[in-house]
Structure formats: structure tokens, C-alpha cells
Structure 1
Amino acid sequence: MNYTEFRQEMKAFPNFSVREIEKHFPEFDSRRLVEWQKKGYIQKLRNRYYCFSDQEVDEPFLYYTANELYHPSYVSLESALSRYGFIPEGVFQITSCTTLKTNSFNTPIGNFTYRHLKPSLFFGYQLEEWNDHRYAMAEPEKTLIDYLYLHPEIKEADDIEALRWNALEINNRISIEKLNRYEAYINSPALSNRLSTLKTYLDVAT
């Protein structure tokens, strides 16, 4: 098998694992991957995961890749805060939540960080369409909850204010009813205290 045949068969995949390759080419010789990396045809993202070197690297591709590199996971935290306009600046890595252990991967296309959540908190995300594929992104309400849950140092209004969150944009995008429903389901006094602080900050700031 040559590279042209491989490219034709795998071009529908934004990135691909060795397992995916072997589904299409059962007799695949993995030495070809080393050869094609040296020739600049493909890039290694992490062990056994690759993408084509000419793949356009935009935000949807990075979100999709984040899901694929460490599964199950969904994009959240700083990446989702930026996506929804809740923070003023862009971010330089893709942040996700996962039921697996906390981890990170530095790749040629960007850095990917994953924070562990217990399985009962792995909800509140939506599947977004991109080029006949889908990636999981935290809902606006769950984005806030994930961040507050994973940052116990946030205790007072000043701590929220220091984050420079866009209160107007948050109020415009979130459903307080959904936020309260998720809070009740999680049933964590510590999280409820932080959410109470956030709600007070949102009321005062808008």
C-alpha cells in the first residue's frame, strides 16, 4: 500500500488512531507511519494518534481532536468560557473534563489539558456539528459549574471579580433555572456556596 491509497481511504478522518487504520487496512505495516512522518505527510499527536499535516487547524478541529485524544471527555473550563465570550481573552490550550485521570498532551497542533470529574458529574454537554463530525462541548451553565467545582479557592465576590468574567454575557446566555437544577442534582454545599457568590456577583454587576 502506498501513501496515495492511504490518503484516499483516510481523508474523511480529521485525525486517526492506529486502531482506526487497522480497521481499513488489516495488514497495515506501522513502519509506514514513521516514514510518512519523516516526509511531512502526517503528524503524530500522541501515542498511536495522528493527523494529516495539511489539515486546517481551527477551533472546531481542536475541539474535535480534544475529544478524540482522551475519551470520554468534553471541552469545558477556560476553552468553553472563551468560546461563550465569558472571559475577555483567548486561551492557548484546549481544556476539557474527563472521567479519566487528570492528564495533558503537548502536540504539534496545540496543547490539550484534561481535568478529572467523578462519573456522576459527567453531564451537561452538547454535541456540536462540524464537517460531518461532532464534538462534545459543555453547555454554558455546566461550564460555570465545572470551573467553580474545580477551583475551591474561589470563595468571595472579589475572587469572582478577579476572574474578569463578562457578567452581561453570562446573564444573556445562561438559564438560571438550568443552573439551579444542576446545582440541586450535584448537591454539594461547597459548590452551592460558590454558585451563590457567582449569582450575587452577576446581580450586582449588571
Structure 2
Amino acid sequence: MLELRLSSFGGVPFSRGALLPLLSDYERPNDKISEWLAAGTLISLKRGLYVVGSPWRQEALCLPLIANRLYGPSCVSLEYALAWHGLIPERVVEVTSVCTGRGREVENALGRFSYSKIPQALFPLGLTIEAVGNQHFWLASPTKAVCDTVLLTRHLKALGKASMEAFLFEDLRIDEELLVDFDAAVLEGYASSGYKPRQFNALRQVLEGLL
């Protein structure tokens, strides 16, 4: 059965071009793709990018991997990464990422994915490769996720240690015990970048005070 061959894609997103070899016997492969989409055999992530629908998919979907593939270069960060690392108690529904290109939002059958632009020089700082099973993706380290949040929070008034503590531990509800092992090199990279210097100086004071 042709649909069984779709299971070879697992939970990894794939392009229309990757589908065409399976449909070489069809004169109008787009018609078969449309049929699969209507039946839920395929799920469209964006134009020309798909994942296999259930029950033909043999692996769970990995939303961070899908976020990476939807728009790049990008790295899952901000609220979603904070929750992933267990720094905040709330469950985050929207998959939040940082990117080097223009910010954008993508909505599809799997949910909402947002991308916020940060300076090119800051993008690789604290960038890690994580895995769920055999699915690998870019995810911000805990320190990067915190720094990206400070960088991108508009009108952030946390200019001193006390106000930064209030932002981190009251507004974001970050568990301060989980920040003790912060990455000093990543923090210094953000603090010396010239972006929001007073806020990052306050962040440094808070994190160094946890040691």
C-alpha cells in the first residue's frame, strides 16, 4: 500500500520534492497529494512542506524541529525554551524562536510558531543541538533563553538588580535555583554586545549574586 511507504519519513518534515519519487506512477501527482491532505494522510505545515498524519506516522512529532524547518535559520528560544528547560512553571503553547531574518508568525494545523529577529552576532551564543529520539533541532540553552527574553522584552524597565529580580522571579516566575549554573560566557557575550547594556548589567548582577 502506497501510504505505508510514507511511514519512512517518521516525524520529520519533508518537501514536495521528497514525495515525488513515491508518486512516479501518477500522471498528476499533485492530485494525489491533495487527496492525502484532504484525508489527513498528510499535514501541511506551509506551502510545499509536510509531515505524515496518523495513523501512518510511526513517530511522535517534535515541535521544536518543525519550528526549525518552518523558517530559518532559527532557534527555539524565549518562553518555549524556558518552559522546555523547566525554568518557568507555565505550559507554553506557542513555539517561540529567534532568527536572523525578519520576524514572522506561522500558523498551521499543529499550532502557532513565532520568530523574533535578534542581531546576527548574538544568534550563535548559547545555541545547542538537542534531540528527541533521532530528531535533532536547535534549542537555546537556559542562559540564552533568558538573555533573549531580556533582549526582546519591550519597554523593559529592569535597570537595576532589584528590578531585574522582580522581572525574572515575579513577572516570568523563573525558578532562581535553576539559574545558579548559568553560562557566564553566553551572558558576557550578550552584556558586551552593546544592546541593552544597563539591562544586561543588571542581569549579570542578579545571576552572579546567585553563586
Distance in 2 between the 1:126 and 1:203 partners?
23
Q: How many residues end up aligned between the 2 structures?
A: 197
State the 1:148 CA deviation.
Answer: 0.9
Gaps of 5+ in 1: none
The aligned counterpart of 1:198 is 203
Q: Which residue of 2 aligns with 1:52?
A: 52
For structure 1, which segment, 76-85 or 146-155, has the greater mean C-alpha deviation from structure 2 after superposition?
A: 146-155
Matched, 1:89 2:119: no
Q: Residues 20 and 99 (structure 1 numbering): CA distance in 2 closer, same or farther, change over 3 Å? A: farther
Aligned to 1:42: 42
> CA RMSD for the aligned pairs?
2.6
Q: What residue is the counterpart of 1:136 in the other structure?
A: 138
TM-score by length of 1: 0.82
| Cα deviation 1:164-205 (Å, max 9, x = unaligned) | 22211112x412x224431355233x2x31123234445678
> Structure 2: how far apart are the matches of 1:122 and 1:73?
8
Residues 102 and 132 (structure 1 numbering): CA distance in 2 closer, same or farther, change over 3 Å? same
Judged with a 3 Å threshold, the aligned counterparts in structure 2 of structure 1 residues 118 and 180 are, in CA distance, closer, same or farther, namely closer
AA partner of residue 46 (structure 2)? R
Provide the rounded CA distance (Å) in 1 between the counterparts of 2:210 and 2:142: 18
The structural deviation recorded for 1:109 is 1.5
**Counterpart for residue 155 of structure 2:** 153
CA contact (8 A) 2:100 2:118 kept: yes
- In 2 relative to 1, CA 98–64 (structure 1 residues): closer, same or farther, beyond 3 Å? same
Aligned position for 1:32: 32
Distance in 2 of aligned mates of 1:122 and 1:17: 26
Mapped contact 2:10–2:52 kept (Cα < 8 A): no
| Structure 2: tracts of 5 or more residues without a match | none
3-state SS in 2 of match to 1:196: helix
- What is the identity, as a one-letter code, of the residue corresponding to 1:3? L
1:87 and 1:164 in contact (8 A); partners too: yes
Calculate percent identity across the aligned residue pairs. 24
Letter aligned with residue 9 of structure 2: K
Aligned to 2:6: 7
Contact 1:142 1:179 survives alignment (8 Å): yes
Instruction: Within 5 Å, give how 1:158-197 maps onto structure 2.
Output: 158-160=166-168, 161-171=170-180, 173-175=181-183, 177-188=184-195, 190=196, 192-197=197-202
Contact 1:57–1:109, Cα closer than 8 Å, also in 2: no
Residue 72 of structure 1: CA displacement? 1.1
| TM-score where L is the length of structure 2 | 0.80
